[in-house]
């Protein structure tokens, strides 16, 4: 297997999914592709199945929240191809009122808890997930704590007098 | 596995709540088990009992204040986390470090890998009914803590290093202690291996317990000793060398079946390899210029205190660093290090401000542990305990 | 072994320190003291701790149990993992809000007299984790007798904390647990 560069991977993806690469960058040498929510699972499946790419290792799935953007909630997943020794980062952005994207659990069983964690923190709903419940926070929590508007400190505390802290 | 499960007439399902305060679970994991006699029919794990919101805190702290948070991720090997975080920020800032700093980091990281594996294997012994190994190993672990104490002043949550290097050079005493450790540790480790490796009871107890294939392990995104025990030689230190790991010669041990025994042996072998790396690093340090313990980047590395009081520039840099006026690029970085439990990744998004816009930890314990229910179903309850301790799930890393 | 060395070692072995008897009246064939003191003496040197270890401090507790520090020297020979047979609840590590009810349950399951030791900054005050998910000190759900500072405390500090609990136990009146004051304290935490 020859050495495939980031550009090579991108060419293959462009050929397979024309016009789906909304934004491509390479921060610190890691190929980063922004796409839409319909295409992201397809790209992941293609990257996994294609024999010459073989991105068979799901490193991580997480979320990110940009309150100013039109599509504020992002899903970020990192894949790795051990054969090529390359990583790739895929992103898709979702609207706040309907943050849905289809699950990756049928491709990688390990995506299960990563997606639950992302749901727990950001409220992103992974359609088709076998068991989408909160994982780290308490079940009766209603807010999604990693969204930017959620305060870090417990707002119900009364033992702290902010006058002394200059806040 | 057995006819017991299929034989419907004899089935009598009991629900058993294991944890979150069960002593054999070493931390806080809850498992609601459905039991058929002593066999586990299904398991439903609940985690999050020490969820501390690391990622949320990190968004409110300047970069240099996040190091203490990483300490408390996998507290059994805090220095690896510290170094991983420093390297992430250095990658973000584009800093190049002198070789001597890299080698010092390697020493610290490998020492803490040994400490972590010692805990895991010692506890595996305790859980399989052999308490003596634990006592052997904990004495040696104290010596590693003594070294850390000499280097940075703390034992467990070390907060070693700064962005750009170390806060101070290793003292002569620290080097002495490391040399002494390399000399005195191998006989004890040998004793420990003699106690366990060919011990009939231990082998019978551990072989064939929760085996896993490479494909399954990859599917679960396993990394570290667990994946290597299953038979794949994936090691971040080799594939994506950081901190000059490419200069060292070491082997990556692999197992065949991925069961508890293989994990135990792989960890033991990694301890020997870590010792080898430390020995090489000590040799390499001799050739490097003495007294270099940080990169020459005054705009990111805190100046010494007497400089701050006597030197205008140092004062300005000190103020800028502490107040977070340092210029950071707006970018995103993923940096992975080989933690004691697997690939420990830091995904950092910056917007140029004083603290991360988003920081996500890829925590190996969290990702490894999700395979736990599938591993224990069909097995005995006592094997489930063994499986858990051989997976070395650290609650702090699991729940973040 | 040389004979003098053996003798030296033998001397060392017999050089075990015994606890001083409490103040009392002594005569030929009898010794009288207050019941409180006798009970306190016995209790304080046979505290069975329940290690409620959740995070980092738990690892330091393991070091305290290990050969170098050996908490067994202080009468805590047997860590009791069942709350029913424990005297001292040692809470080590962060207690998240999810864990709070569990901790309280464990405390309620313990039989009187019971003591509680909060080991480390997190158990004492929430520590560096001033967040939405962490309980800001276990004294919000259960009464605490001794706080041990440190993040995590060194094994010496944990042993010091244990010795302070011993001090409390030794000097406690046998009537304390039935007193109005104690009932008030329990009522504050909603414990009957």
A158/C138: higher pLDDT: C138
Q: Tell me the nearest-neighbour CA distance from C191 into chain A, angstroms.
A: 22
pLDDT of residue C146: 95
Reply yes or no on whether the pLDDT at B4 is more than 60: no
CATH number of the domain that residue A53 is part of: 3.30.460.80
Reply yes or no on whether the pLDDT at B66 is more than 50: yes
pLDDT of residue B176: 95
pLDDT of residue B25: 66
* Inter-chain touch A157–C133, beta carbons under 8 Å: no
C-beta separation of A88 from A78 below 8 A:
yes
Give the chain B residue nearest C154 (alpha carbons): B155
For residues B161-178, give the mean pLDDT. Answer: 92
pLDDT of residue C6: 55
* Inter-chain touch C63–B395, beta carbons under 8 Å: no
pLDDT of residue B327: 84
Reply yes or no on whether the pLDDT at A126 is more than 90: yes
Cβ within 8 Å of B, A 57-86: 57-60, 62, 64-65, 76, 78, 82, 85
Q: Could you tell me the residue ranges of all domains in chain B?
A: 54-301+330-399
What domain count does chain A have?
Answer: 1
pLDDT of residue C162: 93
pTM of this prediction?
A: 0.92
CATH class of B54-301+330-399: mainly alpha
Reply yes or no on whether the pLDDT at B224 is more than 60: yes
Structural domain contains residue A42? yes
Per-residue HEC secondary structure of chain B comes to CCHHHHCHHHCCEEEEEECCCCHHHCCCCEEEEEEECCEEEEEEEECCCCCCCHHHHHCCCCHHHCHHHHHCCCHHHHHHHHHHHHHHHHHHHCCCCCHHHHHHHHHHHHHHHHHHHHHHHHHHHHHCCCHHHHHHHHHHHHHHHHHHHHHHCCCCCCCCCECCECCCCCCHHHHHHHHHHHHHHHHHHHHHHHHHCCCHHHHHHHCCCCCCCHHHHHHCCCCHHHHHHHCCCCCHHHHCCCCCHHHCCCCCCCCCCCCHHHHHHHHHHHHHHHHHHHHHHHHHHHHCCCCCCECCCCCCCCCCHHHHHHCHHHHHHHHHHHHCCCCCCCCEEEEEEECCCCEEEEEEECCCCCCCCEEEEECHHHHHHCCHHHHHCCCEHHHHHHHHHHHCCCHHHHHC
ipTM, 2 dp: 0.92
| Rounded CA separation A84/B224 (Å) | 19
Q: pLDDT class for B360, splitting at 50, 70, 90?
A: very high
Nearest alpha-carbon partner for B267 in B137, B180, B160: B137
Q: Is C81 on the interface with B (CB under 8 A)?
A: yes
Q: Tell me the nearest-neighbour CA distance from A80 into chain B, angstroms.
A: 10
User: Which residues are C117's β-sheet partners?
Assistant: C90, C146
pLDDT of residue B183: 94
Q: Is A138 on the interface with C (CB under 8 A)?
A: yes
Structural domain contains residue A119? yes
Of A65, A89, A108, the CB nearest to B334: A89
Structural domain contains residue A27? yes
* Inter-chain touch C132–A150, beta carbons under 8 Å: yes
Structural domain contains residue A37? yes
Q: Tell me the nearest-neighbour CA distance from C191 into chain B, angstroms.
A: 21
Reply yes or no on whether the pLDDT at B18 is more than 60: yes
Of B52, B56, B157, the CB nearest to C151: B157
Q: pLDDT class for A88, splitting at 50, 70, 90?
A: very high
Q: Is A137 on the interface with B (CB under 8 A)?
A: yes
- pLDDT tens-digit map of B74-128: 898 999 999 999 999 999 999 999 999 999 999 999 999 999 999 999 989 988 8
pLDDT of residue B3: 47
Q: pLDDT class for A116, splitting at 50, 70, 90?
A: very high
Query: Cis (ω within 30 of 0) for the bond into B117?
Result: no
pLDDT of residue B325: 81
- pLDDT tens-digit map of C31-73: 999 998 899 999 998 889 999 888 888 889 888 888 888 888 8
- pLDDT tens-digit map of A29-71: 899 999 999 999 999 999 999 988 889 999 999 999 999 999 9
Give the chain B residue nearest C53 (alpha carbons): B27
Q: Is A18 on the interface with B (CB under 8 A)?
A: no
Could you tell me the residue range of the domain that residue A120 belongs to? 6-153
**Token digits of residue B242:** 């950081």
For residues C90-111, give the mean pLDDT. Answer: 91
Reply yes or no on whether the pLDDT at C9 is more than 80: no
Q: pLDDT class for C88, splitting at 50, 70, 90?
A: very high
For residues B256-264, give the mean pLDDT. Answer: 92
| Rounded CA separation B72/B93 (Å) | 24
Structural domain contains residue A161? no
Q: Tell me the nearest-neighbour CA distance from C60 into chain B, angstroms.
A: 8
Reply yes or no on whether the pLDDT at B5 is more than 80: no
Q: Is A109 on the interface with B (CB under 8 A)?
A: yes
Give the chain A residue nearest C98 (alpha carbons): A138
pLDDT of residue B2: 47
Reply yes or no on whether the pLDDT at C13 is more than 60: no
- pLDDT tens-digit map of B320-351: 888 888 888 999 999 999 999 999 999 999 99
Q: How many other CB atoms are found less than 10 A from the CB of residue B213?
A: 12
| Rounded CA separation C113/C43 (Å) | 10
* Inter-chain touch A59–B343, beta carbons under 8 Å: yes
For residues A144-154, give the mean pLDDT. Answer: 88
Reply yes or no on whether the pLDDT at B1 is more than 60: no
Q: Which of A147, A154, A162 to mutate to test the interface with C (most CBs of C within 10 A)?
A: A154
Q: Tell me the nearest-neighbour CA distance from A67 into chain C, angstroms.
A: 21
Reply yes or no on whether the pLDDT at B71 is more than 70: yes
List subunits contacting chain C, requiring 3 or more Cβ pairs under 8 Å: A, B
Reply yes or no on whether the pLDDT at A159 is more than 80: no
List subunits contacting chain A, requiring 3 or more Cβ pairs under 8 Å: B, C
Q: Is C68 on the interface with B (CB under 8 A)?
A: yes
Reply yes or no on whether the pLDDT at C2 is more than 70: no
Of B53, B395, B396, the CB nearest to C132: B53
Structural domain contains residue A94? yes
Q: pLDDT class for A161, splitting at 50, 70, 90?
A: low
| Residue B217: φ, ψ to 5° | -60, -40
* Inter-chain touch C56–B135, beta carbons under 8 Å: no
Q: Tell me the nearest-neighbour CA distance from B247 into chain A, angstroms.
A: 19
Q: Is B133 on the interface with C (CB under 8 A)?
A: no
Reply yes or no on whether the pLDDT at A124 is more than 60: yes
């Amino acid at each position: 297997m020859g050495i495939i560069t980031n550009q090579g991977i991108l060419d293959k993806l462009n050929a397979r999914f024309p016009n789906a690469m909304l934004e491509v960058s390479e921060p610190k040498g890691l190929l980063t592709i922004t796409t839409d929510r319909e295409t992201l699972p397809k790209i992941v499946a293609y990257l996994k199945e294609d024999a010459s790419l073989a991105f068979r290792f799901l490193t991580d799935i997480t979320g990110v929240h940009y309150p100013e953007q039109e599509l504020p909630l992002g899903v970020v997943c990192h894949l790795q191809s051990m054969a090529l020794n390359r990583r790739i980062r895929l992103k898709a952005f979702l609207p706040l009122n309907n943050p849905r994207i289809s699950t990756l659990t049928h491709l990688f069983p390990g995506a299960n808890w990563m997606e639950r964690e992302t749901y727990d923190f950001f409220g992103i709903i992974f359609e088709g997930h076998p068991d989408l419940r909160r994982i780290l926070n308490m079940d009766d929590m209603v807010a999604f704590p990693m969204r930017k508007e959620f305060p870090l400190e417990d707002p119900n505390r009364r033992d702290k007098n902010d006058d002394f802290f200059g806040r | 596995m057995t006819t017991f499960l299929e034989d419907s007439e004899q089935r009598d399902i009991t629900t058993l709540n294991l944890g979150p305060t069960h002593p054999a679970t070493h931390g806080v994991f809850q498992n609601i088990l459905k039991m058929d006699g002593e066999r586990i029919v299904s398991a439903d794990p609940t985690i999050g009992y020490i969820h501390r919101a690391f990622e949320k805190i990190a968004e409110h702290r300047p970069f240099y204040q996040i190091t203490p948070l990483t300490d408390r991720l996998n507290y059994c090997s805090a220095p690896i986390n510290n170094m991983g975080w420093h390297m992430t920020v250095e990658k973000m800032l584009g800093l190049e470090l002198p070789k001597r700093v890299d080698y010092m980091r390697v020493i610290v990281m490998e020492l803490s890998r040994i400490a972590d594996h010692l805990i895991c294997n010692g506890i595996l012994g305790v859980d399989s009914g052999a308490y003596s190994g634990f006592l052997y190993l904990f004495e040696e672990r104290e010596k590693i803590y003594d070294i850390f104490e000499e280097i940075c002043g703390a034992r467990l949550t070390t907060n070693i290093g700064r962005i750009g290097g170390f806060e101070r050079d290793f003292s002569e005493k620290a080097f002495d202690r490391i040399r002494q450790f390399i000399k005195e540790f191998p006989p004890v480790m040998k004793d420990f291996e003699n106690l366990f490796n060919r011990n009939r009871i231990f082998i019978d107890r551990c072989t064939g317990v929760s085996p896993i294939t490479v494909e399954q392990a990859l599917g679960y995104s396993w990394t570290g000793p667990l994946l290597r025990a299953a038979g794949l030689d994936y090691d971040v230190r080799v594939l994506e060398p950081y901190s000059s790991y490419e200069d060292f010669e070491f082997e990556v041990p692999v197992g065949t079946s991925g069961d508890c025994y293989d994990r135990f042996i792989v960890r033991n072998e990694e301890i020997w390899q870590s010792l080898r790396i430390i020995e090489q690093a000590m040799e390499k340090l001799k050739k490097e210029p003495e007294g270099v313990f940080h990169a020459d980047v005054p705009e990111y590395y805190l100046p010494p205190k007497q400089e701050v009081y006597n030197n205008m520039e140092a004062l300005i840099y000190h103020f800028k660093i502490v107040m977070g006026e340092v210029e950071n690029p707006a970018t995103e970085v993923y940096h992975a290090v080989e933690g004691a439990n697997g690939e420990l990744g830091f995904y950092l998004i910056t917007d140029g401000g004083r603290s991360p816009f988003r920081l996500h930890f890829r925590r190996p314990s969290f990702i490894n542990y999700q395979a736990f229910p599938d591993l224990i179903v069909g097995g005995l309850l006592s094997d489930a305990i063994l499986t858990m301790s051989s997976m070395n799930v650290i609650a702090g890393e699991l729940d973040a | 072994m040389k004979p003098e060395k053996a003798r030296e070692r033998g001397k060392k072995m017999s050089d075990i320190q015994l606890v001083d008897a409490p103040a009392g009246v002594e005569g030929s064939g009898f010794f009288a003291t207050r019941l409180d003191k006798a009970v306190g003496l016995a209790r304080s040197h046979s505290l069975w701790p329940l290690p409620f270890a959740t995070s980092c401090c738990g690892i330091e507790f393991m070091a305290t149990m290990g050969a170098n520090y050996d908490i067994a020297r202080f009468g805590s020979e047997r860590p009791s993992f069942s709350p029913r047979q424990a005297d001292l609840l040692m809470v080590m590590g962060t207690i998240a809000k999810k864990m709070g009810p569990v901790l309280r349950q464990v405390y309620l399951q313990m039989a009187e007299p019971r003591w509680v030791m909060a080991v480390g900054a997190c158990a004492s005050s929430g520590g560096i984790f001033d967040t939405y998910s962490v309980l800001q000190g276990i004294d919000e759900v259960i009464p605490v007798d001794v706080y041990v500072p440190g993040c995590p405390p060194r094994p010496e500090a944990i042993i010091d904390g244990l010795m302070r609990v011993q001090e409390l136990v030794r000097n406690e009146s046998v009537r304390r647990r039935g007193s109005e004051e104690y009932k008030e304290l329990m009522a504050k935490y909603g414990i009957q």
